[in-house]
Amino acid sequence: MAEVFQRLLLATEHSEHDAGSDRLAMVMAQRCGLPLAAVLPIISNPEYEAVAPQLAMRAEAIVAARLSGLMQLAANEGVVCEPEVRRGESLFQEIVDEGRRLRSDLIIIRRRGKPGLLANLLVGEMVSQVLAHAPCSVLVTPRFAQMWQRHVLVALDPAAPDAAALHQAMAVATQCGLPLMLVAVVEGAPKDAAQVLDQALATARTRVPGANAELLHGKPHLAITEVAKRLGADLIVVGRRGEGGFARAWIGGAAQKVIGLAECPVLVAVPKN
């Protein structure tokens, strides 16, 4: 993974919801011999501190305890962790700003929420905002996420395949020695989808000779998560398209639904500057 990402940033509150992202970030840093930056965001503003100083002090004590726990976890894993507590009125903005400050190329963050009637309820609002505005790729992890070791799946929009998603999936598969599957999903007439997918596969095979591809029909988020289960894929890579709104990105928000439904980590690929 060091070939793919070199500046890792873990966004965490080091709570039970962050167990998967914390664990995966530590494994990635350890295996690649990389330092791990971490940001612990906390809501804070002068009015809040003036009106409720006791609550503010309690929040600071909780953050201090969680910071200590994170440092102990890093020490146990043999990882050099460089944490930063950032205070502001918006949690997602503090994470995004820290990513920009450090010029991070990957933010690792939890997927917060429980299964509901709507797939987008599976992704927390803060996470959705990070995904929309992050200056780099974002790895979203379920609570029980593990390091991928079986299969990488990259989902491509046949109308506008995302080059960043394809190339980052290729790099991860190559670096980790894993098989790569390209998937495109169409609803209705396929038009030029098969040709687009063939071209993407030809590109993928320049680095991953055994890469394969499947053209599927149906609802994109359902088809992608179903084929991921069938293959045993433990990393899904999707792209981020559209300016300033992840809900409008990639097949009308299908990427966010994939994140919400997937049982494995989902890498949202953003081109490197």
114 and 174 part of one domain = no
Give a yes or no: residue 190 inside a domain. Answer: yes
Highest mean predicted confidence (pLDDT) among 109-113, 184-188, 208-212, 241-245: 208-212
Report CA torsion sign: 93, 134, 33, 144. Answer: positive
pLDDT of residue 114: 45
Give a yes or no: residue 147 inside a domain. Answer: no
pLDDT greater than 70 at residue 122:
no
pLDDT greater than 90 at residue 141:
yes
**How many distinct structural domains can be found in the chain?**
2
CATH number at residue 161: 3.40.50.620
Last residue of a domain, one of 141, 169, 199: 141
DSSP structural state of residue 263:
S
% pLDDT > 70, the chain? 86
Give a yes or no: residue 36 inside a domain. Answer: yes
167 and 233 part of one domain = yes
Over residues 96-115, the pLDDT tens digits come to 999 999 999 999 999 874 44
Mean pLDDT value of segment 57-67: 87
Confidence of residue 24 (pLDDT cuts 50, 70, 90): very high
- Domain hosting 71: range is 8-141
Q: How far apart are CA 85 and CA 160, in angstroms?
A: 39
Last residue of a domain, one of 87, 118, 141: 141
Last residue of a domain, one of 115, 141, 167: 141
Mean pLDDT value of segment 265-269: 95
Indicate left, alpha or beta for 62 from its phi (over 0: left) and psi (-120 to 50: alpha). Answer: alpha
pLDDT of residue 129: 87
Give a yes or no: residue 2 inside a domain. Answer: no
One-letter identity of residue 81? C
Q: How far apart are CA 14 and CA 17, in angstroms?
A: 8
Of 210, 211, 216, residue with least CA distance to 184:
216
Q: What pTM value is reported for the model? A: 0.90
Q: How far apart are CA 175 and CA 1, in angstroms?
A: 6
